Structure formats: structure tokens, C-alpha cells
Structure 1
């Protein structure tokens, strides 16, 4: 005989709902982090709303209110709640107005009509209006896809009941993000399904902030960009980066920037390239604009170059080559869709995968496309040379020289920047973090720490002598590894070409790099051999006393520098291929 007793069903109570809510005030009295408002997760709605529990709650209501509701009416009401009004039922329970449930069914008031708001200032029957707010923006971006304009003027609820329903409904309306929708608009009062991250993170720029939070598992559909994160996450959700754009004074047109970046991010998501960041969603909430991204556990490439002491072996070389080919494919895909990134640099390339320095299984992702240029508009502002020693200016091509007349910029702008990043990747792989620090220390001795410099006597620009020296060192140390040496030569002779006309387009770069990778794959000894092991001691040489950079904390991912925003917002110039 089974000694266990069956679990007895019980009514749905105020306490049950309260206990099921996320982000309640902690036992120590401390509130949840900003952005983590109280909400009832969707899975808890289904957990609370079980037929027998709903029936028992209505039975208790019938007893207390001495209602003459028949068993048939009871069954119809339970069915109505289960199919159409789960959230409304819970709102009525938590506002202690469950006696209004029959009126709700009579008026065909359903969850799909939420949220409701109060219109007018009538003294008696103040109306509850079911408005056309605020679901996913439709494909035309001109309206919203859910809601109605139904006005229930003959509800007989008291003003206090209406006010309470309006105020409490928001707890039950945290949205569900899905692959089918990308851009959303939410009311100020609507909570987002965010939880505090186990490891807090955050950062701020002049025009935006980034916060590390967790997206509740019941509030996202089958979004591909989250699948890898899901595999290594807790059962409560996945870590995300919430990027909020802020407006300061009248100088920043946040709405215009948001619309442009939203368009670019949606294209990037549709391309489904492994090395392009895939945003989860974008949304407006009041006057603020937000972007949601998967949180990159490995920080960014700048972090890696400065701190990652990964072992030099054939796996590392293979990883480097794969990342170089993948990044070039990503940029070629953007260019094929008439999008130029415009600000490629290590801090704008994220490391998706194990934590910093963990393994060769991570993937480099091109991100922070706030300067991406779509269609015929390109904006650029060039302020006085900044003292930032590792900012965007380092990776800008010679065609932006202050000595040159402002003209049209080609997508080959990105090709130069890629060449700079690829060179640094190879320097790091062969000579380690100390090699990168030495390289930038020498580069920063000049007023402008760029990979090129102006000629003093003759007009024009030339590749920086320090860059030339690194190419010479690499070709010497890799002379017995022909395929790798070929990769270095290609970067030197094609990507870091001062003349824009002589620099190839990104599609040609990608095609050539694929060929080089195939050569390396076909001859494994060209990837790593005894000759390369001789370079290991060079990776262990003590670093220069002066660090070239304080480093970029994980929290700064996705944060745009003031200079980059100014570059985007000011001085329009046309673009060409």
C-alpha cells in the first residue's frame, strides 16, 4: 500500500501570487538592481492557474458571496479563465476583487486586451479603456500588433477597484521576446523580465550605459543568439547586456541614432554569420532606447590581447587563422548589404565563449556597430587629437588624415582596420601579451598612435616604421612556416595599403584568406613545428615597465566612447563603394 498521500489542491491566494513573483525585496531589505522590477514570470502563471485550483477559488467565492452560480456556470467560467483570462484572474485575486470575475466574462474581457488604462475623470463609472498599446511593432513600424479600442463604459466597478486593477496589472505583463519580433515598444510601467546577474557588471559612456542582467528563461523563445548561452546557464535564465542610450541636452539625436542602429542590428541578425553579434531585441520604453545582446563571457579582444597568456601551440595557431577568416567573412557580409562598420578595433570585437583566457573554443564577434553606415549616409567628426592611447584613432586608415580634404570614404576603410586587428592578433599569438604591450608602447611614442604617419618632406602618408619592423620580425620568425608567412605578407601588402585604390574590397580579402587557410589545413606542419617552439621564450620576456593601457573591464562591452558618438552624429558626408 502506498503510504504517500496525494497532494491536495488548494485555492489561489494573494500570498501564492506574491511568493511566485520575481525580484521581490530581499530579506536584507535591499532592493533589486535598477532594471529588475517585480514581475510574475510566465511559467508561474501556468503553475498557479490549474483547473482544480481555479475551481476551488471560485467555489470559495461562491460560498463567501452566497452566490447562486450553478455548477454548469462554474464549469463554463473555469474554462473561460483557463483559455482566455489567466492573468485577469490573477489580477483580480491579488487586488481582492475576484467577485468581478463574472462581469469580466460577460464583457468578453481577455488577457489579449491587456494592458488597460483609465480614461476621463468621471465621478461615477470611470471607464476602463482597452488600448492599442504596446506590443511588438508591426513590420511597417507604424503601429502595434495587439490590443483593441474597446471601451467598457458600463463596468460597474468602483473607482478604487479600477485604480487597483490598473496599478497591479503591470506585474503580470512582462513581455516575451521571440525570434519572430525584433523591435518592441513598451509603456513606462511595464516591467521587463530581467533578474540580477550572479556576477554584476556595468559600464557607462558619455551617451549610454551597459548593465549585465539575466533574462528569465520563460521570457524568450527559440532565439538562436541565446542557444550557446542557454547551454551553460542556470535554470533561471541567461546573462545579457542591456545597453541603454541616454540623451544629454539637445546635442544628441538619440531617436535618430536608435532607428539607424536598430536597422543595422536587424540586418546583422538576419545574416546569421558566426562572427557577427546577433542582438536579441531592441525596444523603446518611455523616452529611453535599449538594445539587448547576449553577454560575452570572454570580454573583448582588447582584454584578451592584454591579459590572455594562452599557450603557443598548433591549436592556438589554428584558432587565430579561423578567427581571421571568420571576421573577414562577417565584414564582407556587412559590405554586401551596403553597411560599413566604421569603427573596427579590438574593444569592439567580443569574445564569446569561456571566460577570458580559458580555451581556443571561443569565437570573436564583431560588435558595436553604432558607427555602421547604411545606404548613402555617412557621418564623421574629427576633433583634435585625443590623448586616449588606444582609441578608435589607432585603427583609422590614412585617408582620414587631417591634411586631406574631406571626401567620400570607401568601405575599404574597414579593410585597413581589419588589417590592423589581424596584425595585432598574430603579434599576440607569436610574441604574447608582452609583445603587444611592447608594440603599443613603441607606437605610442608618436603624437598620433596610428599604424601610419604623415611624411615630413613629401606629401602623403606611409606605413608606420614600427609596423614595418613588426612585419619584418614576423616574416623572419615564420620563414619556415610558409603558409603563416604568406598570411603575414598578405596583411602587409594588401590590407595595410596606404593607397585606397590598391587596397582590395572585403570580398576579395575573404576569398584570399580562405585560400590561405586551406593551404594551412592541407599542410599541418605549416601550422606549427619545432621552429615555432623556439619563439616561446620570446613570449615570456618581461613586459615593459609602462603599461600601454589600463585594460578594458568586461563591463565596458557594448559601451561607445564619446568620440565615436560624435563621429556618428556630426558632419555628414556622402559615401561610395
Structure 2
């Protein structure tokens, strides 16, 4: 029990500043900001009773005690405040303790001598204390040890007892190989952002197997070297016991599907057409960057394209690079509500099943991106339900954009019919950007033969040409019609038909 009212005040202020997070149980950490705010010269003097009469007690081997604490040992002092042994700071400072020496450990079992974490320093001053007090120090030290993340995107090996500076953790989705959480990093534990006192919203992908995590680390190193604005940039990776985690910025706009749904009400005009083709080009540029370092994505789908809404219309960013090269998801991908959006296989290229024994080329990604841009264009021309109905109309159970036929696969008939319907749309015909986009997707991307598909670099060039033509007014984005056609809906039974609503 503390007898000193000032000590109670400092202890309580620190205690009340603790933050709590739930990940594998309930844990507490003391944020860096709380240490900065509470371990001040005034509070140190008040805690130690260092008034005018006690100035002689302030002197330590390396100078004024409060100054030395503030410079070298705020965390060590905080731990001593927690266990009601703040006056022991003088002995530790005389032995040269610094916060960088934490966490401390016993030199030997039941020894009162403590070692710095790298074993380069010995601290004897606490051995005169009761053994339980030393235990309290060693236990309580972890509350000030939550790591700080920065823009270096380093890998951290975090001790099992060390708390993490996270809050508001919630599980979003999971599979047999990983779990995805949404959470926040405390603002004072992240030094790579815009500053301020707002926590940083993050995504935490937790791998359940070390092998998969190590493969993902290799992919992340490639992305880190590329440092491309339209490829996901992780914040850090860490391991803690059997937790293998990747921390990334959280896309508040969700994925591409979420974007389509949230913007479904927007008027389909030249401005939307222009910004959408810009977004398509950005995705193609990211894929081009990957392919230039001989890396294919392998699992492109709308759910792996994230929508960051920080600036203006936001930007689309490719995520989950290389996932399919390390494992094959056995479960269907996450879907909202009762949506019938297909499994991952929906976006796989036809050579996946027709040539299972052959290595997949980078043009595998081009087919997948062709499927995505096809749906994007369908949304641009109509709405999200048009995408959904086309998915339902393709052959179950995987709803691919092709049919496996002998001797070679063919484009799904309903997909071809939808191409025809789109290109006959009065807004599309006679030399519009929308027509050029549809032609590009059909002629250069969704081609059964791998060699007939364009490269990512060529795709970027084609999209840039369409953008240049719009901006120079050589072609209209789309025709202005008095009465836009009804929304397309697709139905499949033993045959298929197109219904206009």
C-alpha cells in the first residue's frame, strides 16, 4: 500500500493509461505516449521526494538523476513505479542501465543479479531486495515493452511475454491456412505515418503454418524492392511463439467488390469512365512490375484488389501476391450475404485444368485480369447485379469464364453473348472508349490460347492509348443517349438467355 499521495497519483496516472487488446487472451500494454506524458522531470522529483532539501540525493555517477532518467531510463523508472520501488532507480543508473537493456533476465535461477537482454551488462543493485520484488520487476517490465513499428517494414521476433500495441481487434475471415483480423496500432507505436494522435487501422494476416508464412515473406521482399504504389505495402511482419503475422494498412474501402457495390448509385458518365480506365491501368501497371521481376501473382480476383479511400476517388491496390504458389485454398472464398459469387477457380485460366502438368506462365495472370476487367466494364455499363447474374448464369459449380471441351476449352457461350450485348449497346457503338475497352478485353485478354494473350506491358500501353484518345477528345468515352438501355440480366437453365430489366 502506498503512503505517499504523490506516488499514488503517478502510479494511478500510469495505471489508468494502460491499453488493452484481445488477441489470444486479454493483454495490457503501456503506450509510449503514456510514458512520455507521465515520466517528466516534475513527476520524477515528486515521486522521489526530491525537493530543495534532497538535492544531494539527485546526484548519480553520470549527472542529475531526473535528467538521466529522462535521457536513458524512462521505461526502467516506470517499472519501478509500478512495483513501488522507484527509489531503486539510483542504483540501477549507477550501474549504467538504459531502456535499451530491457528486458532484463536473471543471471542464474534464483539469482538476484540481473542481465541485460544481450547479456553485456550485469545489475547487482536489486539483489538486496526480496526475491518476490525482483520477480515483480521481471514480470512487470513487459508492460512497457510493446514494439514500435516504422516505415522500414522489418521483421520482428517478439518474445512470448511481450504485449503488442494493438486495440479493437476483430476477426474478419479465416481458412485452414490463415486468419485475417482488423485492428489498430496505437499512434505512438507507429512512426511511418502522417503523425497525429489517431490510431492506425491495420489488417493482421495470421498464418497457421510457418512454411506458408516463410513463403509469403519471400513474396513480400520482392514487393518491398519494387515499392510500387499499386502493389500492397506491408507495415511489418512478426513471429511470436507459433503466431506468424503480416501487418498491412487496412483498406477502408474494402475490396473491388465492395467498391462496385458502394458506387453502384453513381451516374455512368464520362468522368466515371475516365477514372475507371485509369484504375484499370494502375492494376495493369502493378502486374507489369511483378512480371518484370519474373513473378506472377497467381490468384488475381476482385477480392484480392483492395480499395484505399485516403485520397480523392481512392486507389486500387493488388494484394496477396503469390498465394497460389504456396497453397490452394480448399474452401470457397469469402462472400457477402447470400451472394453466389464463385470460388477462386472462377478467375483461373483454362490451362489450369486442361494442362495441369505444365508450369503456368505469367500470361495466366492476364486471363484472370481479363475476367476482372470484363466484370469491371459490365459494372461500368450497367450495375453490380449484372455481374452477379452473369456469374449465376455461367456453368456451376465454379462459374469459370470458359468451358472444358475437347480438344480444347472454349469461351463460355453466355460470356460471348454478353460481349455481343455490350458492344451493341448504343452508348458503346461507333468508336467509343467503351467499345475500345471491350475489344481489348475480348481480343487481347480472354483468349484460350496462352500465346494469343497480350503481355502486361502491352496491356498498359493499350489502356494508355484509350485514355489519351479520351483526353484529346479523339473519341468519346461513351455515346450520350437520350434513354439508356435497360440493365442486363443473365439467366441460365438448359439454355441461356439475356433479359433486360
TM range (shorter): 0.7 to 0.9
Secondary structure at 2:450's aligned position in 1?
coil
Question: Aligned-pair distance for 1:58?
Answer: 2.0
Quick check: 1:451–1:467 contact (8 Å CA) kept in 2? yes
Correspondence for 1:213 among 183, 191, 197: 183
Gaps of 5+ in 2: 334-339, 494-501
Measure, in 1, the Cα distance between the counterparts of 2:238 and 2:101: 21
Measure, in 2, the Cα distance between the counterparts of 1:513 and 1:371: 27
Question: Aligned-pair distance for 1:412?
Answer: 0.7
Quick check: 2:47–2:86 contact (8 Å CA) kept in 1? no
Correspondence for 1:420 among 371, 378, 382: 371
Residues 70/187 of structure 1: CA separation in 2 closer, same or farther (3 Å cut): closer
Correspondence for 1:19 among 16, 21, 41: 16
**Structure 1 residue aligned with 2:192:** 222
Quick check: 2:255–2:303 contact (8 Å CA) kept in 1? yes
Quick check: 2:342–2:398 contact (8 Å CA) kept in 1? no
Note if 1:89 corresponds to 2:77. Answer: yes
Secondary structure at 1:439's aligned position in 2?
helix
TM-score scaled by structure 2?
Answer: 0.86
- How many correspondences in the alignment? 477
Quick check: 2:393–2:490 contact (8 Å CA) kept in 1? no
Measure, in 1, the Cα distance between the counterparts of 2:464 and 2:360: 27
Residues 92/46 of structure 1: CA separation in 2 closer, same or farther (3 Å cut): same
Quick check: 1:412–1:500 contact (8 Å CA) kept in 2? yes
Which of structure 1's runs of 4+ aligned residues deviate more than 6 A? 382-386, 541-546
Gaps of 5+ in 1: 1-8, 24-30, 133-147, 247-253, 373-377, 547-577
**Structure 1 residue aligned with 2:343:** 391
- 1:136-147 pair list within 5 angstroms: none
Question: Aligned-pair distance for 1:404?
Answer: 2.9
Quick check: 2:92–2:125 contact (8 Å CA) kept in 1? no
Question: Aligned-pair distance for 1:352?
Answer: 1.4
Quick check: 1:306–1:437 contact (8 Å CA) kept in 2? no
Question: Aligned-pair distance for 1:68?
Answer: 9.5
- 1:14-413 pair list within 5 angstroms: 14-23=11-20, 37-59=27-49, 69-70=56-57, 72-73=59-60, 76-122=64-110, 125-132=111-118, 148-152=119-123, 155-156=126-127, 157-196=129-168, 202-223=172-193, 227=194, 235-246=197-208, 254-305=209-260, 308-311=263-266, 312-353=268-309, 361-371=313-323, 378=325, 390-401=342-353, 403-413=354-364
Q: Deviations over 1:213-257 (max 9, x none)?
A: 11111111124xxx5xx7xxx9430211111112xxxxxxx2222
Residues 405/242 of structure 1: CA separation in 2 closer, same or farther (3 Å cut): closer
Quick check: 2:10–2:43 contact (8 Å CA) kept in 1? no
Measure, in 2, the Cα distance between the counterparts of 1:54 and 1:162: 21
Secondary structure at 1:178's aligned position in 2?
coil
Question: Aligned-pair distance for 1:473?
Answer: 1.6
Residues 36/319 of structure 1: CA separation in 2 closer, same or farther (3 Å cut): farther
Measure, in 2, the Cα distance between the counterparts of 1:380 and 1:490: 32
Quick check: 2:155–2:238 contact (8 Å CA) kept in 1? yes
Question: Aligned-pair distance for 1:306?
Answer: 5.1
Q: CA RMSD in A?
A: 3.1
Quick check: 2:433–2:470 contact (8 Å CA) kept in 1? yes
Quick check: 1:241–1:292 contact (8 Å CA) kept in 2? yes
Question: Aligned-pair distance for 1:419?
Answer: 0.4
TM-score scaled by structure 1?
Answer: 0.76
Measure, in 2, the Cα distance between the counterparts of 1:34 and 1:525: 58
Q: Deviations over 1:68-108 (max 9, x none)?
A: 94454596212211110011011001111123212101211
**Structure 1 residue aligned with 2:407:** 459
Quick check: 1:302–1:346 contact (8 Å CA) kept in 2? yes
Quick check: 1:342–1:414 contact (8 Å CA) kept in 2? yes
Task: Single out whichever of 104-113 and 314-323 deviates more from structure 2.
Answer: 314-323
Secondary structure at 1:115's aligned position in 2?
coil
